[in-house]
Amino acid sequence: MTQLLLFGFGYTGERFARRQLSRGWKVEAVVRSEETRRSVEAAGVVPVDLSNARQAAADADAILVVAPPTDNGCPGLEVLGPALSKRQRWIAYASSTAVYGDQKGAWTHEDSPLNAASPTGLRRLNAERAWIRACVGLPLVIFRLAGIYGPGRSALDRVREGKARRIEKNNHALSRIHVDDIVTLLEASLQNPNQHPVYNVCDDEPAPTSDVVTFAAGLLGVEPPAPEPFESAVMSSAAERYFLESRRISNALAKASLGWRPQYPSYREGLAAIVHMR
């Protein structure tokens, strides 16, 4: 395989594209705005207009869709769907662990119940089902990503900006993943296609958000925000939904099937590495 097409060129997509460029791949990315075109060209990636996207997909050896779904479905599937065929050896869709909904703090595997209830989770679940219907007999892999963090997008930034909150709720834990570990897992699958149809993408240690904020403040040498009990905390409806779901995501399948190991097995290693970059 030598030609990769991306639909979605954000925080994760750009890093994956740069990694594959360094390995000799020809990388193209569908552009839907001039801002995206500039980012794509700056990374050394070939921009593809929407009008040419289906042909680019038909010619690609591998396709990665990371653009989020809307209420109307996955924009990547709408554009590229007619060009999907056995010509591609790897068709990857980046979903979210939000499809699991609330698991009441239990360890959650790829075959756990899909209890999506939030708008984000329902959109992701509907998009997954649409991809599965469109890719019968094709090498589709769905990656369910936990909360993504990395340079410029982490608890460290929220603490610096004075936006971090230390909300505490009993038995509340969620999983995270450093953006660089997403890239290495995607790459492991790209190099070993046809392993499993779904992978959880997360680090080894689910944790309460309050613990992450406290650790980030310590790295920066500042006092963490005062703790706020969830029951009395004033927050937006979106933030409240975040705390109504608790799950501990397992990455055991990706480890066993692909030999993948996260470089940052918990938020502690990941945040420490980001601090040392500055």
Structural domains of the chain ordered from first start: 3-147+178-202+250-263 (3.40.50.720)
Q: Provide the 8-state DSSP code for 177.
A: E
**What SS3 class is residue 86?**
coil
User: In whole angstroms, how large is the CA radius of gyration of the chain?
Assistant: 19
Which of 76, 92, 190, 203 lies closest to 143 in space, CA to CA?
Answer: 92
Tokens 């963090």 correspond to 149
Partners of residue 141 on adjacent β-strands = 92
Give the CA diameter of the chain. Answer: 55
Query: How many Cβ atoms are within 10 Å of 245's Cβ, its own excluded?
Result: 21
Q: 54 CB contacts (<8 Å, ≥6 apart)?
A: 79, 80, 82, 83
**What SS3 class is residue 7?**
strand
Which of 262, 248, 155 lies closest to 210 in space, CA to CA?
Answer: 155
Would you give per-residue pLDDT tens digits along the chain (278 residues)?
A: 699 999 999 999 999 999 999 999 999 999 999 999 999 999 999 999 999 999 999 999 999 999 999 999 999 999 999 999 999 999 999 999 999 999 999 999 999 999 999 999 999 999 999 999 999 999 999 999 999 999 999 999 999 999 999 999 999 999 999 999 999 999 999 999 877 899 999 999 999 999 999 999 999 999 999 999 999 999 998 888 899 999 999 999 999 999 999 999 999 999 999 998 85
Report the amino acid identity of residue 176: R
